[in-house]
Amino acid sequence: MNKPFHTPFKLSVICLAIFSVQSSFALEDVQLKTIKLQAVNDQSELNSETSKKYIINKSKSASKLNLSIKETPQTVNTVTQQQIKDFNLTNSRDILASAPGVNVASQETNRTTYRARGFDISNFQIDGSNMPLTGSDYQNGDVDALLYDRIDVVKGANGLTSSTGNPSATVNYIRKRPTAEFQANGALSYGSWDNVRTEADVSGSLDENQQVRARVMAAQEAGNSYLDNYEKEKTIAGVILEADLTDKTLLTLGYNYQKDRPNGNNWGALPMLDKDGQMLSYPRSYNPMPDWVHWDVERQNTFVELKHNFNDDWSLQTSYNYNQQKENGALLYFTGVPDADGKGVSEYPSLFEETNKNHNIDLSLLGKYPLFGQTHELMLGANWTQNKVSQQSFYIAGKSTPIDNWNDYQNSSYPDFIFDYDTPANKANYTQEQKRAYAATRLHFGEKLKVLLGSNYTKATSKGQNYGNSTDFDNSRFLPYAGITYEFNPTYTAYASYSTIYKPTALLGLDKKTLDPMDGKSYEIGMKGSWFDDQLIVSSAIFRNEFNKFPIYAKWDQASLYDQQDIKSIGYEFNIAGQVTDNLNISAGYVQQNMKDKATNQDTRTFVPERTFNIMTAYSIPQIPQLKIGANLSWQDKTTQSSSSNLKQNSYALLDLMASYDINNNLSIQANVKNVTNEKYLNTLEYGQAYYGAPTNYNLAVRFKY
């Protein structure tokens, strides 16, 4: 079995000692330093790369209107480029785990569900265009951070601009853009279990007038793991080209590529309960997967954008995104519960192939218009999305094979798979399509009161079969949206929002027919405050969600089958983000929520923590300006698989530390230590099988910039 290095313990002690003096420095700095007030142009407001802060001033992720965070009638959390660099957040798991109120649930090594306010996040976007997810609300593999400037998380239902609504959140990946001035960045890092990563990022103009700009990015990562027999390798590349066709028209072309090639990955993880319903315990590194197990995932994204400003008030934007995801895996699933003799567990090998092709076209018109002596904003848009899914599974004869002794399990022989391409029960082929028209206006009633009204009409269709079962449906729904903000003074703003929820699904019920669409309502009221010229923003919110016909996993029968449940969630959220001083950045949040079955008023989805807390902070020491230190703490309270299950996870906290030093203007070094206290914890308990999170680990990096 792989054993973690002992070096991280020594390094963590050093970093902890450094961090222990941070608060005293910070207090001194609050008394002696003053905040520099400066204007921020639109580009810097939308681009966190240049600001080097833990906050953005404006975001279009909630409404496509370029509103400040304080003016947006929903909670918006952002993980900026500086946070990504400071804490070496190279993938979506790490990034979203750092976002306040987001719970990262890893079913296994290469499949992840993200949750907010108790529900699974299904609305994922790139620059406001929807990213496809297949099947359930999870991602296979993890989106790499290299290509993105920041990640916005809009809490609550956001059906106005993001598919068809979900009461959890919308995650919007904001791409890096070419720069007019030449810049080059590179990094080489080495970490625990021989993990090596190289990065290159070059940007600049291609002509003297700076009318044509380009950016090229590439990264390669490979290494082992704290898990036995598990190896990772991935390749990332991206190119983006901008051209000023006129002084009012901007054309953008781009292509992104990512391929993950893990070996020895687990599928379904480990059985965690024995025959008597008692929890089992394994070494943290235990992963019995043979060497033939793999799950390759290849993602490609091609996009075209055209923006035209008619004048200072009106603009038109259109975009086309083509996403293709291919998966190829040889997987091994364990099912059952062992007794004292190790009997009761069976192995279920499978070959798996999938191709997912997604087309997305979006057209939006934004402008301002006068009415009753005030100037108001208007947004009109239309969207078409088509998702084609093709899957094929191959099994062995008899499919499920009992294991003689789970307590002493070893298997390295490649199964004798049956390549049956014709049986409907072994494959899926279906096409989903959505046509949407949406509109919103923000009405100004004086300087203080603003009302955001909008609607989204969605027609969703599906046609085809999913492992021998029909996926056909044809549904449409009209979704209203309303938000209001009231500015008491330049510091404090109150807000409220209401949104309806509608979400079709291709999941199968216990009768192996497509589930009815989900629907519901989402409410949020809160208060936002800002200080230091909006460089520090604090928000608090109370929310209530009602989500009807929510899929609840029931069992596996050649396909995942689900029951449906009407659920309500009620909770409270507090967030703070920005600059406390010139030298101190902070992002923190606390969320408390409770989920009930509307029919019985009993607790449900108890595998989702009711309370979470996150704080991320970095401090540049004035006495040693080249040195920056920081800490990232995340905590969640106890969880259980269900109210009657013995599968439990006690509350735990994960502490990460960082230190970086600028050798000169072009070269810096950085050390990161994750899980400093070496917490042993299980990932998600939802399916009754789980695996352990990583022990203490480190990463050392050398960064170059020009």
3-state secondary structure 198-267: EEEEEEEECCCCCCEEEEEEEEEEEECCCCCCCEEEEEEEEEEEEEECCCCEEEEEEEEEEEECCECCCE
Phi-psi region of 121 (alpha: psi -120 to 50; beta: other; left: phi over 0): beta
Say how far apart CA 429 and CA 628 lie, in whole Å: 52
CB 117 within 8 A of CB 593: yes
Kindly state the DSSP code that residue 73 receives in the 8-state scheme.
S
Predicted TM-score of the model (pTM): 0.90
CB 616 within 8 A of CB 587: yes
Phi-psi region of 532 (alpha: psi -120 to 50; beta: other; left: phi over 0): left
**Rounded percentage of the chain residues whose pLDDT exceeds 70:** 91
pLDDT band at residue 163 using 50, 70 and 90 as cut-offs: low
Quote the pLDDT of residue 583.
95
Between 275 and 29, residue with greater pLDDT:
275
User: Given the structure tokens 């997810």, which residue do they identify?
Assistant: 133
Quote the pLDDT of residue 466.
83
- For the ranges 125-139, 560-574, 621-635, which has the lowest average pLDDT? 125-139
Express each pLDDT in 183-192 by its tens digit.
999 999 999 9
Say how far apart CA 644 and CA 328 lie, in whole Å: 37
Query: Around 554, how many Cα atoms within 13 Å sit in the side-chain half-sphere?
Result: 17
Quote the pLDDT of residue 15.
37
| Whether pLDDT at 399 is above 90 | no
Say how far apart CA 320 and CA 360 lie, in whole Å: 6
Q: Among residues 129, 94, 140, which one has the least CA distance to residue 355?
A: 140
Quote the pLDDT of residue 104.
93
pLDDT band at residue 638 using 50, 70 and 90 as cut-offs: very high
Express each pLDDT in 451-487 by its tens digit.
999 988 988 898 998 888 888 888 888 888 999 999 9
Q: How far is CA 529 from CA 73, 102, 217, 484, in A?
A: 13, 22, 37, 16
- DSSP alpha helices (H): ranges in 472-618? none
Return the structure tokens found at 500.
């309806």
Kindly state the DSSP code that residue 682 receives in the 8-state scheme.
B
> For 546-568, what is the mean pLDDT?
85
CB 280 within 8 A of CB 218: no
Quote the pLDDT of residue 131.
73
Quote the pLDDT of residue 558.
66
Phi-psi region of 268 (alpha: psi -120 to 50; beta: other; left: phi over 0): left
Express each pLDDT in 522-532 by its tens digit.
999 999 999 99
* Residue 195: partners with Cβ closer than 8 Å, 6 or more residues away: 189, 221, 222, 223, 224, 232, 699
Quote the pLDDT of residue 37.
33
- For the ranges 341-345, 421-425, 591-595, which has the lowest average pLDDT? 421-425
The torsion angles phi and psi of 48, rounded to 5 degrees, stand at: -80, -15
Express each pLDDT in 217-265 by its tens digit.
999 999 999 999 999 999 999 999 999 999 999 999 999 999 999 999 9
> For 299-325, what is the mean pLDDT?
96
Quote the pLDDT of residue 475.
85
| Whether pLDDT at 320 is above 60 | yes
> For 118-127, what is the mean pLDDT?
88
630 three-class SS = strand
Residue 426 sits at the vertex; the CA angle it makes with 423 and 432, to the nearest 5 degrees, is 105
Quote the pLDDT of residue 41.
35
Say how far apart CA 176 and CA 492 lie, in whole Å: 32
- For the chain, helix, strand, coil in percent to 5 are 10, 55, 35
Say how far apart CA 488 and CA 453 lie, in whole Å: 21
Say how far apart CA 293 and CA 211 lie, in whole Å: 49
| Whether pLDDT at 174 is above 70 | yes
Return the structure tokens found at 539.
């928000």
211-240 burial code (b ≥16 CB/10 A, e <16): eebbbbbbbebeebbbbebbbbebbbbbbb
CB 561 within 8 A of CB 510: yes
Q: Among residues 257, 384, 263, which one has the least CA distance to residue 326?
A: 257
Say how far apart CA 366 and CA 345 lie, in whole Å: 59
User: Given the structure tokens 């698989």, which residue do they identify?
Assistant: 641
CB 101 within 8 A of CB 573: yes
CB 179 within 8 A of CB 544: no
Say how far apart CA 149 and CA 261 lie, in whole Å: 25
> For 86-104, what is the mean pLDDT?
95
Instruction: Look at strands 518-531 and 508-509 and give their pairing.
Output: unpaired
CB 585 within 8 A of CB 579: yes
Express each pLDDT in 1-51 by its tens digit.
443 333 333 333 333 333 333 333 333 343 333 333 333 334 444 688 988
**Rounded percentage of the chain residues whose pLDDT exceeds 90:** 67
Mean pLDDT of the chain: 88
> For 588-603, what is the mean pLDDT?
94
Highest averaged pLDDT of the listed ranges 32-36, 158-162, 422-426? 422-426
Return the structure tokens found at 430.
């279906």
2 three-class SS = coil
The dihedral through the CA atoms of 38, 43, 48, 52 has a sign that is: negative
Say how far apart CA 481 and CA 475 lie, in whole Å: 20
Quote the pLDDT of residue 1.
40
